[in-house]
Amino acid sequence: MDHLNSSELLKRAKHLVWIEAIFLAIVNIMAISGNISVCYAVYRNQRLRSVSNMFIVALAVSDLLISVSCMPLSVATVVQSRWVFGTTVCQLQGFAVFTFGMSSLNTMGIIAISRYFCVVKPTRYIVLFRKQRILMYTAAVWCMALIGSVPPLIFQTGGYTFQPGKAMCMYPFQSNIAYTVFIECVFVATPFTLITFCYAKVFYTVSRSNRVFTQENNPEQLRANVEEAKVTKTLALVMASFSLCWLPICIMDYIDAARGEPTLPRQIYLTYGFLAYLSSTINPFIYGATNRRFRREYKTILKKISLIFTCGRCSCRQNRTSDNPPNLAVTEL
């Protein structure tokens, strides 16, 4: 079926080529600008440098790396209707997509664990999640991701290959069932189960605490509890959006693995690629919609960008004026 997807990629109508390319390019630009904005907002505003937001920056870095190193190659592939970058770049793109995707999921797992200790066991949270330890946890996340993404580089068969339906190079999950089961159990099912348990426990604890503080007429504790609930809801929403993007992808991988080859229509696999990249794009918009401080920083960034463009236009006009001085009428005496 993969050769059929390849022929469909080559034989697309011209308007379809441009629609797919423009849509993917927009996603790429939004991913780069959005994740850079998240990092800059936390760097600029000290109040945003909380433990949770440090993990958010780590997540934004993973998404930014995907948008810089992987998305442009897929955009070019959609435009060219074939892979033109050679075998080595194909291996690197497949490795990057796999590594950054798993590091994002693992980071969300660490975020869920941190929220669990922050709300359910706050005394241990202070010890376990000091800011000095965040770098260590982030390094552990990346090491775990590398454990999953390095083996296909050394497989004699079934390594990272170009998949025309998805317009990217990926690991073909149907090529090695044992390795696929290992990846799905250790790197997908385990984090999802852990995240679900942590957020369920957090929301239960917050709901119970709200009732207690309301009955005790303790507005300060209630306000603090509400703030923690807001942070948790934002992070849970990030996880939910990630799940909505990646669960259909996992289902497609399961179908291919069960059938032993890609058998789905090209449009389905193209959706696969778009969903993978979309998951790296939507988080900054969630932060802006749910967090007032992030929203304020985004507005400041947009004002600075608009000011730069305005100053650039003014300087261009001044240069044109200086290059073409007005003709002065000579008055005869």
Task: Give the residue-averaged pLDDT of 221-239.
Answer: 72
Share of the chain above pLDDT 90, in %: 30
Instruction: Quick: pLDDT tens for 87-97.
Output: 999 999 999 99
To which residue do tokens 């209630």 refer? 222
Residue 324, pLDDT score: 58
Nearest CA among 59, 70, 65, 71 for reference residue 23? 71
Q: Are 167 and 80 in contact (CB under 8 A)?
A: no
Task: Count Cα neighbours of 10 within 13 Å in the Cβ-side half-sphere.
Answer: 8
Instruction: Label residue 308 by pLDDT band (50, 70, 90).
Output: confident
User: Average model confidence (pLDDT) for the chain?
Assistant: 84
Instruction: Quick: pLDDT tens for 68-111.
Output: 999 999 999 999 988 999 999 999 999 999 999 899 989 988 98
- Is residue 131's pLDDT more than 50? yes
Cα–Cα distance, 145 to 107 (Å, whole number):
10
Cα–Cα distance, 215 to 246 (Å, whole number):
42
Cα–Cα distance, 319 to 288 (Å, whole number):
38
Task: Give the residue-averaged pLDDT of 8-28.
Answer: 87
Overall residue count recorded for the chain in this entry = 333
Residue 164's φ and ψ, nearest 5 degrees, are -60, -35
State both tokens at 206: 């917050």
Q: Are 30 and 53 in contact (CB under 8 A)?
A: no
Beta carbons within 8 Å of 291's beta carbon, 6+ residues apart = 234
> Does residue 147 or residue 313 have the better pLDDT?
147
Instruction: Quick: pLDDT tens for 265-285.
Output: 888 888 998 998 999 999 999
Cα–Cα distance, 180 to 158 (Å, whole number):
11
